[in-house]
């Protein structure tokens, strides 16, 4: 063994307070974004329970995820009995329109062929009206929750997208954004008069109003009929530069190539793909609106030009509080990229850019997008929070921006943290956090400025109440 | 309209007073159900987690480790190493070629970096399948680093959370008896309190006032050295039978340390516990002090409780918690503040406890083992419960249906044990039952 213990993350072979989650979690979120869908994880009980708990703590909503409940016998003799019983029971209990099946480490390792299991199940139930069965292969030991998310978006589209005469509607795949973000995107698309399919749409299903009757399957989600229409769209828009393409190279079994949904549709259904970054900040949001103008042939509604104008106005009003401030940014790769591009617009200096994502593309993509501005900034993949924690002292940051799991680092450093993305387990209203569009950026901007002002105010001996 | 319940589950649901049949429990969950249960690993992890000067390394893919990172409110008065989540983060290549090397390297580097007093190494489902020799690696590292490195064989599929408790107890048993320090005369160990929100410290205060020395706390605010010396105590006081009974029994067999089962939840049970300990030592002084404490606390607390009771009279509660023993205490405590229990269930109950619950509850109370969201939501509606007592996973069910909620799980931030805890409990039930927000939901 030649592992010497040095400081720094590369020298650790373990992960210490991981900055990533496993892929069935991402898959489950996507399945929650299909109307009438119940997710099932083909594996042991614990995974489903843990993932449920993790999602519930963020969304504050009931999140039912079934499990095929592997036992010791199952792992030896195979899971087909549990698989069939599982589906039977879900159908009996929930009457779902769709069952979204993701695999887990265990089922993948013992070599379960879920596609075959589905075929067999369908064959032996030919006479009944079965729900649509969608399968995404999501072993937790490959990639992260983000890979699981995008792989599942693609898998769902690949199962359902019909080859039809091209229509006038468009597809939009926004990625792992908040329910409020999705609602905002829908408003924007409506304002251009688009007929569109947004997937996955968990804006209701993971953020429902209060009920008088309990719903076994929360209302909301992209309808299956809409998923079928994705194959005949005139164009697709997807947000993200890294998506699920980051980890393909690290896979040993090259049994599958990762496509994003938009790329899959381009290749197999002739729907042109448009890739944009998450629309955070003026520049990236401008690019989004430019594309919408082009695709619709219409002008941007005044509502949004006003939002843009106000955002710039606030950039000006707030710039002095921000200039030269040093930020540690961490989280899912594409959110990190969006955040960094935005920070560079407002004069905040990222001093460490970290993601738990396991690919290697974050650094080159950022360097390209920023035209080299991030060249000398440490950009690290496969990071964990202890590594960030250990590096942070030397970096003298003023603020942390990322999920709530970095709180302990911020607390130790005595600096503010602005919570973005997923998970936010220690604050209220994670479902309603906004990140995208001029309006989402505005919210993010206000939160960052206020966090810095508040910190200064609390640190001040004077206790001023006017600024 | 609710769908039908899963067939095969009927025997895990009974209505008190309507059947003489015993409830069926300790059954594996049905495939396809959305069980509120966790896995073997989870059971072992929650029990060992509060040992704060030990390294807890989870050998497996990242999920098992990251979903259990610092989610419990088990406080420590000293080291906080336990609040980290260490994982070997197994990758596809490890699955194919085995993870032993990575495990070895991880252990060495983490022990060097954090200097723990012991290391617990948890195996997970994947490890159970790829067949890493956990024991051999632990042994090797233990010799090299001269600290106990203890394998916790907990592949999730090997049973339920309850089986995980046993695995944890076995791991603890390897530590107990490996040190030999003399301790004072009236010494007990506290088993099965995890110092959620500082509860253990409340108990320590009562015992201190009584003149009892607490030797090892297993595992709340736990320390490796104290656990190693645990066999020196005269008595194991075990709370919440589910998780720690096995260790108590092991210690009785091996070291002749008797045990006593108690609950610290609710006034009656808390007082019973103090009296029980005093009785055990057959010491008059202890008994006098115990009754002094009880009297003092009752005088302090009862007037407040009475006020709550008047206001809460007639409210109905549903309980769904981890272990059935806790459910019993909850039923009693609720009754004390005028709240009637109409639904009660647990993830991993025992048949004895369920029997007691049947006797304890009013006729028609629904008793259920290993339930799921569908059943729970149906039951609370049917029984017109006002308040739900459970864990994080039950909270949204309660809230969506317009019910009050009280978190009685290990993630909570309120101390609910002891006399002080009873006040907190009453206050919380009151707050959730009386909030004006329900006028908009019901
Ligand atoms: S993989 Fe196994 S041990 Fe890990 S959470 Fe899932 S069931 Fe539990
Ligand atoms: S990493 Fe694998 S085994 Fe662990 S929770 Fe995720 S899917 Fe389950």
Query: Where in chain A are the domains?
Result: 3-276, 300-458
pLDDT tens digit string along B115-138? 999 999 999 999 988 989 999 999
Which among B31, B66, B108 is the nearest to A18, CB-wise? B66
Q: Give all strands of the β-sheet with B213-219 in edge-to-edge order.
A: B213-219, B187-193, B235-239, B259-262
Alpha-carbon Rg for chain B, nearest whole angstrom, is: 22
The two domains A3-276 and A300-458 share their CATH topology (first three levels equal): yes
Please tell me the distance in Å from A394's CA to the nearest CA on chain B.
19
The CA-based dihedral angle spanning residues A423, A429, A433, A439, taken in that order and rounded to the nearest 10 degrees? 180
A46 CB less than 6 Å from ligand 1? Answer: yes
Which B-chain residues 345-384 have CB contacts (< 8 A) with chain A? 373-374, 377-378, 381
Nearest alpha-carbon partner for B243 in B390, B45, B74, B13 = B45
**Helix spans in A33-175 (H):** 45-59, 72-77, 80-94, 105-109, 114-124, 145-160
pLDDT tens digit string along B218-271? 999 999 999 999 999 999 999 866 689 999 999 999 999 999 999 898 898 899
Residue B346 has pLDDT above 70, yes or no: yes
**pLDDT in the model for residue B36:** 67
CA of A47 relative to ligand 2 center, distance in Å:
5
3.10.180.10, 3.20.20.60, 3.60.150.10, 3.40.50.1980: CATH of B313-411: 3.40.50.1980
Please tell me the distance in Å from B113's CA to the nearest CA on chain A.
8
Q: Distance (Å, rounded) from C-alpha A222 to C-alpha A182?
A: 12
- Enter the CATH code of domain A300-458: 3.40.50.1980
Give the model's confidence band at A6: pLDDT under 50 very low, under 70 low, under 90 confident, else very high.
very low
Average pLDDT over chain A reads: 92
**pLDDT in the model for residue A149:** 97
Q: Distance (Å, rounded) from C-alpha A53 to C-alpha A51?
A: 5
Q: Distance (Å, rounded) from C-alpha B420 to C-alpha B208?
A: 16
- Enter the CATH code of domain B187-292: 3.40.50.1980
Contact: B69, A46; criterion CB under 8 Å: no
Cβ contacts of B392 on chain A, cutoff 8 Å: 53, 56-57
Which of A23, A44, A102 should be mutated for ligand 1, with most atoms under 8 A from CB? A44
Classify burial at A39, counting beta carbons within 10 Å of its beta carbon; exposed 0-12, middle 13-18, buried 19 or more. Answer: buried
Annotation: CATH topology of B40-170: Rossmann fold (3.40.50)
**pLDDT in the model for residue A248:** 54
Classify burial at A417, counting beta carbons within 10 Å of its beta carbon; exposed 0-12, middle 13-18, buried 19 or more. Answer: buried
Chain B: residue nearest A64 by CA? B34
Give the total residue count for chain A.
467
The two domains B40-170 and B187-292 share their CATH topology (first three levels equal): yes
Residue A9 has pLDDT above 50, yes or no: no
Nearest alpha-carbon partner for B124 in B192, B175, B68, B50 = B68
Share of chain B above pLDDT 90, in %: 64
Residue range A162-182: mean pLDDT, rounded: 95
Q: What are the sequence ranges of the domains in chain B?
A: 40-170, 187-292, 313-411
Spatial contact of A455 and A416, defined as CB atoms under 8 Å apart: yes
Residue B21 has pLDDT above 70, yes or no: no
This model of the complex carries an ipTM of 0.93
Which among B37, B109, B129 is the nearest to A75, CB-wise? B129
Chain B: residue nearest A16 by CA? B86
CATH superfamily of A3-276: Nitrogenase molybdenum iron protein domain (3.40.50.1980)
**pLDDT in the model for residue B442:** 67
B125 CB less than 6 Å from ligand 1? Answer: yes
Residue A297 has pLDDT above 50, yes or no: yes
Give the model's confidence band at B69: pLDDT under 50 very low, under 70 low, under 90 confident, else very high.
very high
pLDDT tens digit string along A370-381? 999 999 999 999
Residue A250 has pLDDT above 50, yes or no: no
Contact: A210, B66; criterion CB under 8 Å: no
**pLDDT in the model for residue B3:** 46
Q: Give all strands of the β-sheet with A326-330 in edge-to-edge order.
A: A379-380, A349-354, A326-330, A399-402, A417-419
């Amino acid at each position: 063994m030649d592992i010497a213990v040095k400081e720094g993350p590369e020298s650790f072979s373990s992960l210490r307070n991981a900055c990533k989650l496993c892929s069935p979690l991402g898959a489950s979120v996507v399945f929650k974004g299909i109307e009438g869908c119940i997710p099932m994880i083909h594996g042991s009980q614990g995974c489903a329970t843990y993932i449920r708990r993790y999602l519930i703590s963020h969304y504050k909503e009931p999140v039912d995820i079934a499990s095929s409940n592997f036992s010791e016998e199952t792992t030896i003799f195979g899971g087909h009995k549990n698989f069939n019983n599982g589906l039977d029971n879900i159908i009996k209990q929930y009457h779902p329109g769709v069952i979204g099946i993701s695999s887990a480490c265990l089922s993948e390792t013992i070599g379960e062929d879920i596609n075959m299991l589905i075929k067999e199940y369908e064959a032996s139930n030919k006479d009944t009206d079965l729900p649509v069965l969608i399968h995404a292969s999501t072993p937790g030991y490959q990639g992260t929750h983000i890979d699981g998310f995008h792989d599942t978006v693609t898998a769902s589209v690949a199962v359902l997208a019909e080859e039809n005469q091209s229509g006038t509607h468009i597809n939009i795949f926004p990625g792992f954004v908040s329910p409020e973000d999705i609602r905002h995107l829908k408003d924007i698309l409506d304002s251009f008069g688009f007929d569109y399919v947004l997937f996955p749409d968990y804006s209701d299903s993971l953020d429902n109003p209060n009920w008088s009757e309990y719903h076994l399957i929360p209302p909301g989600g992209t309808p299956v009929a809409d998923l079928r229409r994705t194959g005949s769209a005139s164009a697709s828009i997807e947000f993200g530069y890294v998506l699920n393409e980051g980890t393909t190279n690290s896979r040993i079994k090259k049994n599958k190539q990762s496509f994003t949904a938009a790329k899959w549709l381009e290749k197999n259904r002739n729907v042109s793909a448009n890739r944009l970054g998450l629309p955070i900040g003026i520049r990236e949001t401008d690019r989004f609106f430019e594309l919408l103008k082009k695709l619709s042939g219409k002008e941007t509604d005044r509502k949004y030009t006003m939002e843009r104008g106000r955002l710039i106005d606030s950039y000006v009003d707030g710039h002095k509080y921000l200039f030269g401030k040093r930020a540690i940014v961490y989280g899912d790769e594409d959110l990190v990229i969006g955040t960094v591009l935005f920070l560079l617009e407002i004069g905040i200096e990222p001093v460490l850019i970290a993601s738990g994502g396991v690919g290697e593309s974050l650094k080159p993509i950022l360097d390209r997008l920023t035209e080299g501005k991030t060249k000398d900034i440490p950009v690290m993949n496969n990071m964990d929070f202890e590594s960030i924690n250990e590096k942070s002292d030397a970096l003298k940051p003023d603020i942390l921006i990322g999920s709530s799991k970095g709180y302990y680092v911020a607390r130790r450093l005595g600096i503010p943290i602005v919570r973005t993305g997923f998970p936010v387990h220690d604050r209220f209203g994670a479902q309603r956090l906004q990140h995208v569009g001029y309006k989402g950026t505005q919210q993010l901007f206000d939160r960052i400025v206020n966090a810095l002002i508040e910190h200064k105010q609390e640190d001040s001996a004077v206790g001023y109440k006017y600024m | 309209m609710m769908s039908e319940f899963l067939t095969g589950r009927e025997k895990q649901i009974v209505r008190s007073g309507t059947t003489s049949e015993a409830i069926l429990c300790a059954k594996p969950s049905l495939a396809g159900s959305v069980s509120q249960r966790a896995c073997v690993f989870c059971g072992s992890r929650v029990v060992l987690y509060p040992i704060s000067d030990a390294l807890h390394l989870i050998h497996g893919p990242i999920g098992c480790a990251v979903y259990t990172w610092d989610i419990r409110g088990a406080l420590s008065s000293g080291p906080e190493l336990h609040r980290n989540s260490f994982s070997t983060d197994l990758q596809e290549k490890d699955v194919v070629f085995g993870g032993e090397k990575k495990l070895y390297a991880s252990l060495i580097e983490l022990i060097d970096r954090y200097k723990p007093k012991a290391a617990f190494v948890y195996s997970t489902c994947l490890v159970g399948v790829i067949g890493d020799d956990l024991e051999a690696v632990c042994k090797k590292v233990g010799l090299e680093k001269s600290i106990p490195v203890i394998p916790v064989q907990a592949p999730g599929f090997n049973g339920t959370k309850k089986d995980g408790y046993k695995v944890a107890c076995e791991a603890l048993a390897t530590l107990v008896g490996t040190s030999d320090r003399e301790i004072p005369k009236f010494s007990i160990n506290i088993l099965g309190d995890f110092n959620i929100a500082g509860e253990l410290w409340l108990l320590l205060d009562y015992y201190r006032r009584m003149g009892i020395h607490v030797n090892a706390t297993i595992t709340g605010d736990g320390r490796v050295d104290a656990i190693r010396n645990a066999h020196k105590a005269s008595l194991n006081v075990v709370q919440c039978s589910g998780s720690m009974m096995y260790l108590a029994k092991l210690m009785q067999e091996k070291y002749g340390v008797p045990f006593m089962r108690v609950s610290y939840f609710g006034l009656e049970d808390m007082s019973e516990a103090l009296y029980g300990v005093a009785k055990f030592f057959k010491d008059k002084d202890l008994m006098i002090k115990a009754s002094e404490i009880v009297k003092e606390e009752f005088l302090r607390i009862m007037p407040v409780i009475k006020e709550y009771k008047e206001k809460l009279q007639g409210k109905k509660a549903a309980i769904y918690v981890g272990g059935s023993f806790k459910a019993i205490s909850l039923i009693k405590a609720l009754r004390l503040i005028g709240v009637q229990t109409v639904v009660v269930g647990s993830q991993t109950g025992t048949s004895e406890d369920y029997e007691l619950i049947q006797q304890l509850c009013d006729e028609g109370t629904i008793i259920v083992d290993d339930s799921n969201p569908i059943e729970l939501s149906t039951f609370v509606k049917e029984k017109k419960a006002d308040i739900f007592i459970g864990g994080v996973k039950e909270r949204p069910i309660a809230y969506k249906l317009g019910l009050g909620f009280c978190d009685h799980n290990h993630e909570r931030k309120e101390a609910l044990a002891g006399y002080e805890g009873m006040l907190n409990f009453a206050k919380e039930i009151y707050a959730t039952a009386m909030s004006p927000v329900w006028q908009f939901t019901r």
